Structure 1
Amino acid sequence: MDDESGISQELEQSLRKHRRGSESTGTLVVSEEEGYVGDTITFQGRNFPAGEQYELRWNSTDGRWGVLEANEIVGPQYQPRKETIATVRTDEDGTFDEEWMVREDYGGAHRIEVRDGDTTVATAEYTILPWFELDQQSVPLGDFFTITGYGIGPNVVTNNYQVAWDNGNVGFMTGVMNRGTATAQIRAVGPVGKHTLQVWRNYRGVPYLQNNTQSPYGPVADGRQSQWVVEVTEPEQPPESAWLDAQLDESPIALHYPDVEDTEAELSITPTSGQPGTTAFISGENFPAEEEVNLIWYRHEGHRVKGIPITPEPKPEMLPTVTTDEDGRFQTEFTIPHGEGSTRPITAAVGGREVAVTGFMMQPSIETFSPTSGPVGTTIEIELSGVGWPVYENAPYFLYDNKPLGYVCGLTDNDGGGIVKLELPASGEPGWHFIDAYPCLFEVQQDEPDFELRPHLSYLDNHPVRPLPAYHMAFEITED
C-alpha cells in the first residue's frame, strides 16, 4: 500500500503540473525596464497558481578573449550564460514580488525566465545601461585617478570606451572579461589646477564626438555622469622617477616550449617567474646517473612585419653544463639573463638529445631611464627588458603627459639581448612631466571593435592571457 500510495502521489503531482501549465503560463513584469548595475529592482509575478514554487532564471553571456596558441588574438568571444538568481513562491492569489539588486554584468538586454522545473512559464526583459564612476576628484600631481566602468558591452559598439584628458585621447577601456566591468587608472598630469576627464564611446577605437548630442545609441552613460572636472594638487614629495605596476607570480606557458623527446627525465625551475637578474635554481631528476647534462636557454626570434615566423631558437652557451649524481639528480644556481618577455624555454640535453623541458616566465623591467631632469629638448634615454613577443605584450604604447606618442616593439633587434631602446625629447613647461607605457594589442584578427595599437587602459582586469604591468616614469623640466 505504501508503494502504491507513493506512486499515486507522484502521478497526481505530475498531472497537477500538466494542468497548471495548460491553464496559465503566468505574467512576469519588472519594476523598471532598464537601469544600472547596483540598482534594486522588483520582479512582479501575477496570474500564477497559488502556493507554487518557481525559479527566476537570468540570461546573459560569458566573455573572454579568443586566443590561438597563447599568442594570436582573435578578438572578444561570448557564449550564453544562464543562472538562477532567486527562488520564489506564490501567495494565495498566485502572485509574488521579489526584490533583487542588479549584479555586475554586461550591458544590454537580459531575458528573465520564470521556470517550473524544465519549463519556462513566463518571461520579461531588463536592460543594463553602462555607467562610470571616478574614485576621487582631487589627487596630487603624478598620482592616478581610477575610473571604473560597469555594464560595458558585449555589443560591438558598447564594449569599447575611450578616456580623454583635457580633450586628448588617452586610450580605451573594455569589459570583455569580468562580466562587463573594467578599471582604468589615469595619470594626474600638470599643470597643477583643474582639468577635465571624460569617457567617450566608439567601436572604431577613437572618440565619436556626437555621443552625447546626436548618437543613435544615446549618451555614453544614458543619463549618468561621464565627464568630470578634476583637480591636480601639488605633491608633498617629488614623484618616483621610474617604476612598474606590481607583478604577480606566474608560470610559463607550455605551448611556447620547443619539442623534446618523451623520456622520464624531469626539469623544473624555482622561481617560475621574475625579471632579468633574478636568481633561480634549475633542478633535474630521473636523468642517467653520473652523466653530463647540457642546459639550453631559448629565445624567440622572428619578425611579423617581415613575414619571418617567430620560433624558439636555442642559445646553448648561456646556461651551465651540470653532472648528475648517482641517483640521476642535479641542481644548479644561475642568474636569469636579459631576454624577450613571456615564456623563456629551457631544455636539458644528454648526449646531444634534448630529453626534458621547463620554462621561466620573463617579466618586464625598466633597465635605464636617464636623465631624470633637464631643459626642454633634453634627450631622454629609455631601455626596457622583458618586453614579450606575443601580440598582446609585444608593443607597449607610450604616452607623454597623457598624450599618445607611439609604440615600441619587443622583437625589433634579435641581437640586442632583449633590450628595447628608445630616445625621446623632453618637452613642456618647467616642472614635472610623465611618461607612461601601457600594454596594447599589436594585432587582432577581428576588425570590429578596433582594439589594435591603442593604449589598453583596462589592462589591470581585462587584458588577454597575462597580467601585464604598465611602465611609469617622471621627468622634471628645468629652466635653461
Structure 2
Amino acid sequence: MPIKKEIVIIGLFLITILSACTNTEPAEKSSNDNNEKEPALKNNIELSVKEAAINEEVHFTIDDLDANTDVQLEWTEVEGTYKIENLYEFIGTKYSSKDVPLVTGTSDENGKWEGTFKVPQGFGGNHTLYITSDNKKIGQKGFFVRPKFSITPESGPVGTEVALEAEGLDWKTYKSMWNLTYDNKYTGMVSGVSTQGKTKAIFRASGSVGKHFLSLRSGYLGSPYINHESSPHTGWPAPDFVFEITDEDPIAAQYVEKTPKAASGGVEMPKLKNKKNVEVSMDKEEGIVGEKVALKASNLPKNKEVELVWNTMKGSRVTDSGFDEESAVLDTIKTDAEGNAEYKFEIPDDLGGLPHRIDLQIGDEIYGQTYLRITPSIVEITPSSGPQGTEISVTIKGGGWTEYDNAYYLTYDNAYSGYMCAFNSQGTLEYKIIATGELGYHVIDMYPGIYQQQEIETDMTLIPQLTYREDHPGSAMPAIRYGFEITEK
C-alpha cells in the first residue's frame, strides 16, 4: 500500500510539471445551446491596430453589410469574483460573461460603416469583436488588449510605500496571476480577479542605498514563469522596474494598516434573527482585543435577565478533532422597566476575520443578535534593534480562522520567508525570527493570503497577496508592518 501511494504522488507531480509548460486553458463555451448550425461569420472588420491599451482609441472599417441598416460593434465583457462556500471554504475564482456594445451606428448605402471605439476598462488579453444587427452576429475580428504597468514612486528611503499598478490583466489561467520579485527575491502575488483586471499591489522599499531591480512575471502556479521569451504567450509584456533607495533616514514604524476593502464586498454573513421590534446595536462594528465597546438593546421583555452569548469557532483543520462552533456567556444583564439594556465590555481575546455573533438570550429563547468583528493588533515586537543574529519576538492578536484569513505571510526585506496560522491558537500569532543583513533598517511585513483552495486552476495558496487592499476574498484583512535596525553591537 505505501508503494502505491508513492506512485500516485509521483504521477500527480509529473502531471503538474508537464501542465506548467503546455496550454491547458479551458475552451470558450459556445453560446449556441441547440443543434442548429449557425451561418459562418464574415471576416469583414478592419482595425487600425491589432492591439491597444485600455482607454486608447481604435478606428474600424466594416463592409459587406446590408445597406442603411442599424448595426453595432460589441465584444464579450467578463466579470470576475471569488467563490466561497459555508462562510469559510475558499473554492476558487469564478467568471461570468455577457456581450456588451462598444459603439452603434448605421451602414451607408454601400453597406459600409466606419468609426472609432475606445477600449473599455476591464480584463485584457485576447478579445473577439463582433459586428451585429438585429441581435445577430454577422462578422468577427480578433483583438488584443495590452496590459499596462507602472510603479510610484520610483525613489525614496527604506520603508517607502510603493504602489505597483496594473490594468488589463487577463482573466484566463496563465495571465490572471502575476508574481513580483525584488532583487531576484520572491515578494508576492499580484491579482485583479474581483477588480476586473485593474489592480494595485502595495509593498515597502528595502535594501541599501542605490538601485534595486523589480520584475513582474505571470505564473499561475504561485511563482514567476521565467523563460517568457520561449513561452506560447510572447505577446504579453514582462515588465521590469527600478526603484532607487535614497540616502535619507528610513521610514521606521510598526503598525497595523487600516481595514481594507474585501473583494466584491466580502462574504455575506447570515441574516440576524431578532424578535419583532427588538433592536440590538454596537457602538463599533469592529475593534481590537481589549478595546472597550458598548452594546445597546431595546424592546426586550421588561425587567428580565438577559444572557449575552458570545459565539466563536474552536479547533483545527489539520487534526482529526476538526473544528466547530462554540458558545460562552459573556455576562448576564437585566432589562429596565421599558425593556432596554446597555452593556459595556472589552473585546474578548479571540479569533479575528469573520465577525462574531452575540446572542441576547432569555431562558431558552434568543430575542436579538448582533455582530462584532475582531481586527488584528500588535501586542509585542521586541527588540527593535540589535546586531545580526538577534532573535526578534512577535505577538499579534486577531488572526482569523477561515481558509482565506487564518494565515499571515511574512516577508523580510521583500523576500518571502514563510507563513503562520492563527486558528489553533484562537487568533494569537506568536513567532520568532532572526535578524539578518547589513547594518541599517530592514523592513518586515505580514501580508494576508489564501491558506487553501479547492479548485486549483490558478494556485493562489500560501503566498503573500500584495493586492490585499482591494482583491482579497472573504474578509478584509490588513497588512502588518514593522522593521528592525541592525547595529554593530
Deviations 1:184-224 (A, max 9, x none): 1232101111110001122211122211x311221651xxx
**1:433 alignment partner in structure 2:** 442
Which stretch of the first structure deviates more once superposed, 419-428 or 237-246?
237-246
Give the corresponding residue for 1:395: 407
The structure 2 residue matched to 1:465, chosen from 464, 469, 474, is 474
Letter in 2 for 1:67: I
- Cα displacement (A) at 1:57: 2.0
Instruction: Pick which of 75-84 and 428-437 moved more.
Output: 75-84
Q: CA deviation at 1:435?
A: 0.6
The 3-state SS of whatever aligns with 1:333 is: strand
Distance 1:107 1:409 in 2: 35
1:294 aligned residue? 307
- 1:215 matched residue in structure 2: 231
**Take 1:252 and 1:163, find their aligned partners in 2: how far apart are those partners?**
25
Work out the percentage of aligned pairs sharing the same amino acid: 28
Inter-partner Cα distance in structure 1 for 2:158 and 2:49: 42
The answer on whether the counterparts of 2:157 and 2:205 sit within 8 Å (CA) in structure 1 is: yes
Q: Distance in 2 between matches of 1:54 and 1:300?
A: 57
Q: 1:43 Cα deviation (Å)?
A: 2.5
Give the equivalent residue in structure 1 for 2:375. Answer: 363
* Structure 2 SS opposite 1:157: helix
Does 2:132 correspond to 1:115?
yes
CA shift in 2, pair 1:26/1:408, >3 Å: closer
- What's the offset of the Cα at 1:177? 1.4
Q: Cα deviation per residue 1:290-322 (whole Å; 9 max; x = unaligned)? A: 101111222221100114443331121xx3322
Partner of residue 152, structure 1: 169
How has the CA–CA distance of structure 1 residues 261 and 36 changed in structure 2, closer, same or farther, with 3 Å as cutoff? closer
Match of 1:421 among 414, 430, 447: 430
Find the aligned partners of 1:280 and 1:104 in 2 and give their Cα distance. Answer: 42
SS at match of 2:102: strand
Counterpart CA distance in 1 for 2:121 and 2:393 is 43
Following superposition, the deviation at residue 230 of structure 1 comes to 2.1
1:327 corresponds to which of 318, 330, 338: 338
Q: Is the 1:172–1:455 contact (alpha carbons within 8 Å) kept by the matching residues of 2?
A: yes
- Displacement of 1:270 in angstroms is 2.2
Matches within 5 A, 1:266-415: 266-316=279-329, 319-341=330-352, 342-414=354-426
Match of 1:205 among 216, 222, 230: 222
User: CA separation in 2, counterparts of 1:270 and 1:193?
Assistant: 49
Task: Extract unaligned runs of 5+ from structure 2.
Answer: 1-38
CA distance 1:297–1:154, shift in 2 (3 Å): same
The 1:238/1:169 distance shift into structure 2, 3 A limit, reads closer
- Kindly indicate whether the alpha-carbon contact (under 8 Å) linking 2:252 and 2:441 is maintained by their aligned counterparts in 1: no
Q: In the aligned structure 2, how far is the partner of 1:249 from the partner of 1:170? A: 22
Matching residue of 2:484: 475
Partner amino acid, structure 2, of 1:354: I
Secondary structure in 2 aligned to 1:180? Answer: coil
1:167 aligns with 2:184: yes
Residue in structure 1 matching 2:65, options 24, 43, 48: 48
Deviation at 1:479, TM superposition (A): 0.8
SS at match of 1:450: coil
CA distance in 2 between counterparts of 1:201 and 1:248 reads 25
Q: Which has the larger radius of gyration?
A: 1
Residue 135 (1) aligns with residue 152 (2): yes
Evaluate the alpha carbon distance shift between residue 60 and residue 134 of structure 1 in structure 2; reply closer, same or farther with a 3 A threshold: same
Partner AA of 2:345 in structure 1: F
- Residue 10 of structure 1 aligns with which residue? none
1:264 to 1:254, Cα distance in 2 relative to 1, 3 A: farther
Letter in 1 for 2:461: E
Aligned to 1:194: 211
Could you tell me how far 1:47 is from its partner in structure 2?
3.1
Measured against aligned partners, the alpha-carbon deviations of 1:69-94 in whole angstroms (never above 9, x if no partner) come to: 22111111111122222222334444
Shift of 1:238: 4.2
Asked whether the equivalents of residues 289 and 328 of structure 1 are also in contact (C-alpha less than 8 Å), the reply is: yes
The 1:332–1:119 alpha-carbon spacing in structure 2 relative to 1, beyond 3 Å, is same
Give the aligned residue type for 1:429.
Answer: E
- SS in structure 1 at match of 2:429: strand
* Amino acid corresponding to residue 227 of structure 1 in structure 2: D
Query: Per the alignment, in what secondary structure is the counterpart of residue 196 of structure 2?
Result: helix
Match of 1:226 in 2: 239
> Cα deviations across residues 242-274 of structure 1 (Å, max 9, x unaligned)?
1122225999967469x9896764432221122
Q: Retained in 2: the 8 A contact 1:56–1:85?
A: yes
Shift of 1:455: 0.7
1:106 counterpart = 2:123: yes
- 428, 440, 458: which is aligned to 1:449? 458
Superposition TM-score, scaled by structure 2 size: 0.85
Secondary structure at 2:441's aligned position in 1? strand
Amino acid aligned to 2:94? Q
Counterpart of 1:11 in structure 2 is: none
The letter of the residue matching 2:351 is E
In the alignment, is the contact (CA less than 8 A) between 1:188 and 1:232 conserved in 2? yes
Distance 1:253 1:203 in 2: 24
* DSSP 3-state at the match of 1:408: strand
Partner of 2:257: 245
Contact 1:112-1:126 within 8 A present in 2 as well: yes
2:423 counterpart SS class: coil
Query: In the aligned structure 2, how far is the partner of 1:219 from the partner of 1:122?
Result: 25
**One-letter amino acid of the structure 1 residue matched with residue 319 of structure 2:** K
Q: Which runs of 5+ in 1 are unaligned?
A: 1-21
How far apart in 1 are the matches of 2:173 and 2:266? 32
Q: How many Å separate the matches in 2 of 1:292 and 1:170? A: 54
Structure 2 vs 1, CA of residues 51 and 254 (structure 1 numbering), >3 Å: closer, same or farther?
closer
Shift of 1:329: 1.8
Residue identity matched to 2:344: E
Whole-angstrom CA distance in 1 between matches of 2:199 and 2:444: 23
C-alpha contact (below 8 Å) 1:252/1:343 kept by paired residues:
no
Alignment size in residue pairs: 447
User: Residues 147-177 of structure 1, C-alpha deviation per residue, up to 9 Å, x if partnerless?
Assistant: 1122222111111111000011111112211
Asked if 2 retains the 8 angstrom alpha-carbon contact of 1:387 and 1:420, the reply is: yes
Q: TM-score, normalised by structure 1?
A: 0.86
Amino acid at match of 2:317: R
